[in-house]
Structures are given as C-alpha cells and as structure tokens.
Structure 1
Amino acid sequence: MAKAESKRSGAALLVAGKSGADEQVNGAAELPVPGVRAAKASTTREATSRRSTESEVYDDGTNTFFWRAHTLTVLFILTCALVYVTLLEETPQDTAYNTKRGIVASILVFLCFGVTQAKDGPFSRPHPAYWRFWLCVTVVYELFLIFILFQTVQDGRLFMKYIDPKLGVPLPERDYGGNCLIYDPGNTTDPFHNIWDKMDGFVPAHFLGWYIKTLMIRDWWMCMIISVMFEFLEYSLEHQLPNFSECWWDHWIMDVLVCNGLGIYCGMKTLGWLSMKPYQWQGLWNIPTYKGKIKRIAFQFTPYSWVKFEWRPASNLRRWLAVLGIIFMFLLAELNTFYLKFVLWMPPEHYLVLLRLVFFVNVGGVAMREIYDFMDDPKFHKKLGQQAWLVAAITVTEFLIVVKYDPNTIMLPIPFFITQCWILGILLIFTWTLWRFFIRDITLRYKETRRRKQENSAERERPPGNSNSNPVTVSGRSKLNGNTDTVRHRKS
C-alpha cells in the first residue's frame, strides 16, 4: 500500500509517486547522491519532462491501519463464512436458488481475492482496494458477456430471466421523433408540450455523463468531437433503432449545446481547479483540530495529485492513430448501450442499464489514464494497462453479442446519401493523415536538404579571406524534429 515517494534533502516533505484522479507519478525522483553516472542523469531528465504536466504533491508518508492490505483478516472472515454455510446452515432444497447462491458466492470469493491480492492501478484515492475491486468486477463482467455470447439467442434472453423475472419480454421502442414543432399552436392547453415530453430523466443523465467523460478524457476538443460524432451516428442509424429518431432541436440544442456542452464546460472548469489545487497530505492523527480531521476525511475522496493530459494528436502518426482509436472505442461503447437494450430486451429504466453505466464510470477513468501513460511514456509503460485491456475487450464483446443476437437489424442497409457522407468523411481523414505524416514531412525534408546544399555551395565559393566567419545554420533534421540546436560548418 505504501506509495513510491521521493524525499527532498533536509526536509520531511515527500514528493509522492501516485497520481491521477488519484494518480501515480511514473517513476520516483532521483536522490541527490554524489557520483551519479551520466545514464542516471539522463533518466532524471526524462522523468523531469514526464512530470512537467503533473502537480506537485507533499505527503508526510504516514501509513495507518487504513492503508494496510489486511490479507489475513479477509481470509479469516471468508473462512468463517464458509464454515458457517457448511456446518451450521441447512441447505435449501431449491435447485434454482442454490445455483444462484453458488454463483454469487463464487463471485464474492473472487472479489475478496482480487481486493487483497490484485495489482494496484494508477489511482490510490479513496483507497487502492476500491480500484482493485472494480478491476475484479471488470473481469467478472467480461466473463458474463463471454457466457452470453456462447448461448443461443433464445437461451441468452431466457437466462436474463434468472437475473430478473421481468426481463425476457420484447419491449416497444419509444420514438423520440414525430411532431418536432417547438411551439405547437394546435395545442391550446400547452403549446410547448413537445419540449416537456423530451424532458425526462435522460436529460440530467446526459449532463452528468458528459461531465464525467470530460474528467476522463481531459481534453475539450476530443469531448466535442465525440459529442458531435455520436449525433451523426444517431442520424445514420435511426433506420435500425427507432429511438435514434429525434427532432433536430433535440439533437443539436438539447443534446449537443445544453446537456453535453454544459457538462463539458463544467468538466473543464473542474479540471482547471484540480490542476491548480495544492496537494498536501497529512496523516489523520497528525492533524490537531477536529475541523482539520473532518476536512482531511473529505479530501480523501479527491485526487491524490493531478496529471494534465496533453494528447497532441498531430505530433506523430502513432499518437494520431491512438486518438482515432480512442474516439472509435468511445463511440462504439455508446452505441452498445442502446443496442444491448434492444437485443436483450431490457427497458431503458432497468437497474441493469444503470449498473452498467456506473461500472463504466468507475473503470473508464482508470482505463484512460493507462492509455495516456502507454502513449506518453512507452519506455516506462511497455504494455497496455490491465484495466484498459479489459475495457477494450468488453466493448468488443458487447458489440459481438449485438451482432449475434440480432444480425438482421445490424445488416439493414444504410441509406445511400448517408453512405456517401461517411465515405467522404473517411476519405478526408485518410487524405489529411497521408498529407500530414508523409507528404508534408517528405516535402519539408526535400526543401531543407536543397537549402543546405545551396548554403554549402555558397560557402565553398566564398573568398579565402572570409573563411573565419563560421556561419551558423539550423539543420533540416533538427528543424523537422522541433529542435533549435545549431550545426556549425567546418572552416574552409
């Protein structure tokens, strides 16, 4: 449980190594030991540049009872529970009930193992065990999806009845289109009834969802692109799912501008506060006043430190493709929410739909941090994080369930004009990628090489009396790489 920390000489303050919306700093700072080799100094420079976007954290290093793993305690409690079931409880004669209880008990034992023994992730607040719990829940959910994928369509929908007897019944989809008049003069009682009809529980859910997504992605442009792209997807797929059919003002005013836009704005303001907030941590029992203790308990549910994400998608081809992949997976996960309800016959207000959203809220932030670390510091993070790997597998598995359970809906032909729009968009992205990372670089290298040759030829043609001037020029390679180092030509 102890955090990787670095001490400043002559001070009791500890610069923490965990960061995030409880995140960990990647690599401890170097101690000022005399005689450090040049390789170690190079590592220090890399770590310093890596921490340029990370907030500075001060911690007194107190490790209380709260931070310990308690592996023996959990094992003892688990053993007592199993002994009670075996020796003191009479097993019911209900096969279905015993089957459900056995599955739940197996999951709980696995969660107990994971909470105490699983690998820690990048977040540490409110407690590392909290994030290990959600990692184990991710594994259980992926195994559940794999089980559903291997069933027939009838058996899969029938299995949902074991979870809730109300499920397994086809439900009509609500059409949000129809009358799109903002002001309906024909309805004298309430001419704005169309607006009030759309003001259901999904309006605050939209706002809250995009507020949390902004805290995950931490970039205004990426959030807006995903928000607008999903509305285009709803336009493109409304022939498959009726509830994608919405009024134009529902798409662009209520969703993009009001709900999504306001959620993104509030999220960016929160990000600004978290990036400027001082992170000074002190043990609870080291705080003298009760007010300070209460404040410390409240701040336990805030980030340990903060990392500002700088995606820089146009910096190189690898980051550009990674950002495109993140946007694609976000959109696919959003679509899975609607298609899973459709193929598994779950009403939108069912608690399983809400639990899935709560699940993604807790695991999405960890996954995004692991993806960013993998992109930003591949030398230190040589493989994709465990939570990010599982979230990607879950998103793909959910889509495969949709394809298997209702291929007729998925394969409904897209209208020709919509197909043309998507082909045009894909071609524009492909053309820009080709120009930005291939043609542009080749052209710049050619121009720089040609200019250097002209300067070298002019240098050779100078009179011998001017040979000591030592002109300084910038190399083409350094300019392309964003480096301002200069190269001196040899004297004539």
Structure 2
Amino acid sequence: MAPSAKDSVIEDDQYFRVIINERSVDDISLDFFYKPHTITLLVTCISGLLYFAFTRDDSNQEQNIWNGLSCVLFFFLIISVLAFPNGPFTRPHPAIWRIVFGLSVFYFMLLLFILFQTRTDVRKMIIWLYPELKDSGPDEKEYAVNCSEISVQRLWSSVDVFILCHFFGWVTKALLIRHYGILWTISVMWEITEIAFAHLLPNFAECWWDAIVLDILLCNGLGIWLGMWLCRKLEIRDYHWESIKDIHSTTGKLRRAVLQFTPVSWVYVRWMDPNSTTMRIIAVWILIVAFQMVELNTFFLKHILYIPPSHMLNLIRLLLICLISAPTIRQYYVYVSDTRCKRVGTQLWVFCAIMLTEMIICIKFGLQMFRQTVATYVITWLCVQMVGSFVCIYLCALFAERWNKWKYDHDMDSPIRKPRMKPSMPPIDNNSDGTMDCASGRDTQSSRNKIDKENGSVKDVGKSSIGLSHSTKAHKLRSRSHSDKKAHVSTNVKSSIGNGSL
C-alpha cells in the first residue's frame, strides 16, 4: 500500500529534523552532560542576575548600557541552548552548536538594526565601543607599487600575519568544501574579483607576482593541499569510540576528553558524480558565487565603516563566519545531494540572510563610493564569474563521469563513498541492516532506529554508511549470520553512524 501524502510529509519532516536540522547523540558515555538541567540553569542564572543587579556600581551610564547589552546577549545564548536546533553536528556537544546558531541569529538581528541607521550613527556606535577608532579612515594601503622590482628580500618582506591568516583560511575552506575543482575555481575567481573592484578598493590592486605567486600558488595552493591532505587522512581512519567510563588510566581519560573535540566520523563528500544534473551544477555555481560575496562583504564593510584590517572587529566577524560556515555548508551539501531533503536547514537560511543583509548595508552606506563604479568592469566581472565558474564546474563533472576512480555505484546516486566488501562476505540486505541511499532518498526500515544500550547492539541511525568502518560492518554481518541476528557489538566500540560527523 502506497503511503499517503500526509504520511510522506510526516516522514520528510522527521527526516529533516533528525538528519539535517537537529541530530541526536547516540554514543552517550557520560549521561550527566546530556540530561536536561533546565531548573538548575534557571536558578543559577537568576541568582547571578540578582547578585550583579544589586551589588555592581551603576554610577557610570556607559558602563550600565554595556553591561545591559552583555546581559541580553548572555540570556539570548542561554535560550539558544534550550530552544534552538544544533544542526548536523553533535561534537563536542550539541549545546556548542546551538550557541553558534544563537550567535548567528543575534548577529543577523544586529545587522537588521544597523540597516535602519545612518552611516554616521553607526560610526558613533563603533567609536563608543572602541574609542581608538575615532581617527581611523579608509584602508588606502597600496600593494601595486614598483612591481618590476622583484627580489627574495621583497618577497620575504611581504610575508606577514595576514599571509598566515590567508593560508589557514584556505586550509579551513578545504576542510569544509573538500573538492579540488571547486576550491581552485574559488581561488582563481577571487583574484579576478580583486582586479574588477580595484578601482573602488585600492588595496585590491596587487603586483602580478603577488597575486600569482604569493596568493594563488603559495597561500591558496598550499592551504588547499594541506586541507585536502587532512581530509584524506581523516577519511580513511576507522572511528571506534570507547566510553570514558571504560578507560581506567588518567592519561587515557584525558586523551579521550580531548578527542571529544574531534569529529565523530568523517564523511566523504562528492559534489560532482557521474550522474550530476544541470541543477547540481547550478547549485555548485551558487556556492562559488556565495563565497565571493562573503569575501567582498568583508572588504567593503571595513572600508566603508573605517575599520582597520588588524582590528578586533574584523577578527570577531571572520571567526563567527567561519563557525557558522561549517554547519551551513553541510546543510547545503545535503540539500543539493539528497533528494529526500525538501528544504534548507535553519543555519543555512540564517547564513544566507546574513550574507544578503551585509551586502545591502554595503550598498546603502557606500552609495557615494559605488557612484564611482566603472560599469564595464562590473559587467565583465559578472560575465567572467558566470562563464569561468560554469566551465570549471562542467570540467569537474566531466572528470567525475569519465575518470571515476572511486568505484561509484551507478544504481544508487549516493554522495557517500561506500566501503568495498570482501568477496567472502555475504551481501548486504538494505532492508535488514538499515543502510540508506542519501541522494536517491531510499530510506530503509531501520533508518529511524536508535541504539539499544541494554543488550549492546548497534542499530543504524540515518546514513549508516557514513563514518562506519570496514571492520565494524564486517563484524555486524558475521554476528548476524552466526548468532541468529543478535548483533553483539561491544559498547566500547560504538561507531557513531553519521551523527555529528564533519
């Protein structure tokens, strides 16, 4: 009997909530950190509020305003922990990702407030927060000076803290995107973006050797290589997590506590596959353009609001964007590759709202600057962005189709690389072991099962092929065939099946 429309909607909603928007933790080892403590939290927060409200000195008006705003942010994050979704990740703790989501919502609210102010009033707010910015001006440092003079000393003098930030920024991008073609496309397209907007932002003008050697080859290239190398190392690992209660040595407990801040498993990402459709190519192109917009917002905001590049405000914004980018890219990837995902995740929605609101603020406050825009440059830039990105993405799709080296399963359009099974092993029954084809939307019976902690059996939750090692799958198959489907797996070898993976 075919499921009704209502049942399908309920199933899709449950799939969205469990897999994409609010993953649950299945490998809980310390129950205290995952049990609700809402009453204790309420009593503690109100007690602290009473203490500070009646004991602090309130004679300074500016300090009162600052303390009030800080208290508003604090309680907003507390409510975020209680009410907001944690998204697709659960490590080191779901509360951390709820706070990240709360920070993104708070930043979005702040941008909306700024949008309805004047540029002069926004400058007054910034000066009130940071008085040292009173005499700051636009960043007019020029890098395209004496480009014909090339020497080792000059190249070395160009290496500063921003070069290191540039390098580690690309390492982070590689860890998030995990695709050479997309990363190199973003790298090259950004250099073209700098050329197109150099007449508006003087620090975009660079010498050819600065753009090609220092930026594209060294910072971007080495950052991409290191990030992808880390991805390969994390991808081939077997993830077996032992409960901290079963570890007896102090060193072992400390090591396990530190490892809590690492991903519970590592998902193999396939943005392009042999069966990529036109919509998949357009979705990847949107990802590339979004990266360009976020970077442009960074430079335009600090130029229009007179914030020096080395100031703390820029660092705070970059760290916030980096944090919210991790769940955003994962939710976007699932939305693009999984046909069962019918809507975007909440963190992705908020990130898009932040990006577009920042762009509107730049246009509103920088109208005088944008009047100097050379229309030919911008139109050429848009054409190059569109054509260049589409060509690179098409080549990536063509490469995935003709030189497929990952033994892709053409029958199931899955974005997850499946482990190779030995010939001697019995075939996997999709209806019995709970595997799921993420892209085709084939959800088997056990995709909603949970871990049975009483008998130690592991039942698959969601995408069972994600993060599940070869040895663990083989152990499950042998256990089922020799013990009448009583899959006895030791509780200290729980493989977290995709939940909270990066």
TM-score, length-scaled by structure 2? 0.69
* Structure 2: distance between partners of 1:428 and 1:267: 24
1:79 aligns with 2:46: yes
Q: Which residue of 2 aligns with 1:32?
A: none
Q: Deviations over 1:426-474 (max 9, x none)?
A: 467789999xx9xxxxxxxxxxxxxxxxxxxxxxxxxxxxxxxxxxxxx
Contact persistence 1:179–1:194 (CA under 8 A): no
Give, in whole Å, the separation in 1 of the partners of 2:380 and 2:41. 59
CA shift, 1:70, in A, is: 2.6
Rounded Cα–Cα distance in structure 2 between residues aligned with 1:421 and 1:65:
55
Q: Is the 8 A contact 2:363 2:370 kept in 1?
A: yes
Indicate yes or no: 2:113 matched with 1:147.
yes
In the alignment, the residues of structure 2 paired with residue 395 and residue 192 of structure 1 have an alpha-carbon distance, to the nearest angstrom, of 39
Q: Counterpart of 1:64?
A: 31
Distance 2:66 2:27 in 1: 47
What amino acid maps onto 2:277 in structure 1?
A: N
SS at structure 1 position matched to 2:240: strand
Question: CA 1:105–1:247 in structure 2 vs 1: closer, same or farther (change >3 Å)?
Answer: same
1:95 is aligned to: 61
**2:324 corresponds to 1:343:** no
Partner of 1:298, secondary structure, is helix
SS at match of 1:93: coil
- Structure 1: gaps (5+ residues): 1-36, 40-57, 184-190, 438-480, 482-492
Aligned length: 378
Residues in 2 aligned to 1:224 and 1:432: alpha-carbon distance in whole angstroms: 9
Aligned pair partner of 2:356 in 396, 400, 414? 396
Equivalent AA in structure 1 for residue 141 of structure 2: R
| Equivalent of 1:326 in 281, 287, 291 | 287
1:172 Cα deviation from its structure 2 partner: 4.2
Task: Say which SS state the counterpart of residue 382 (structure 1) adopts.
Answer: coil
* 1:170 aligned counterpart, secondary structure: coil
| Pick aligned residue for 1:377 from 338, 356, 360 | 338
Q: After TM superposition, where is structure 1 displaced by more than 6 Å over at least 4 residues in a row?
A: 428-434
Q: Could you tell me which residue of structure 2 aligns to residue 356 of structure 1? A: 317
- Where 2:131 maps in the other structure, the secondary structure is coil
Residue type matched to 2:70 in 1?
V
Does 2:233 match 1:273? yes
Shift in CA distance, 97/67, structure 1 to aligned 2, threshold 3 Å: same
Return the alpha-carbon distance in structure 1 between the equivalents of residues 183 and 385 of structure 2.
19
Residue of structure 2 in register with 1:135 after alignment:
101
Tell me whether 417-426 or 261-270 shows the greater mean CA deviation: 417-426
**TM-fit CA distance, 1:280:** 1.1
Q: Which residue of 1 aligns with 2:470?
A: none
The letter of the residue matching 2:77 is L
Residue 336 of structure 1 deviates from its aligned partner by 0.9
Q: Distance in 2 between matches of 1:162 and 1:114?
A: 28
Give the direction of change, closer, same or farther, for the CA distance of 1:69–1:276 in structure 2 (3 Å limit).
farther
Q: Deviations over 1:238-292 (max 9, x none)?
A: 1110000111011011111001110100110111111111111122111133333
Partner in structure 2 of residue 228 of structure 1: 188
Per the alignment, residue 123 of structure 1 pairs with: 89
- The aligned residue for residue 142 of structure 2 is 175
State the partner residue of 1:408.
368
- Alpha-carbon separation, structure 2, partners of 1:433 and 1:288: 51
CA distance in 2, matches of 1:225, 1:393: 24
Contact 1:182 1:192 in 2 (8 A): no
Distance 2:388 2:318 in 1: 33
Which residue is equivalent to 1:451?
none
Post-superposition CA distance 1:15-55 (Å, at most 9, x none):
xxxxxxxxxxxxxxxxxxxxxx998xxxxxxxxxxxxxxxx
CA distance in 2, matches of 1:322, 1:210: 21
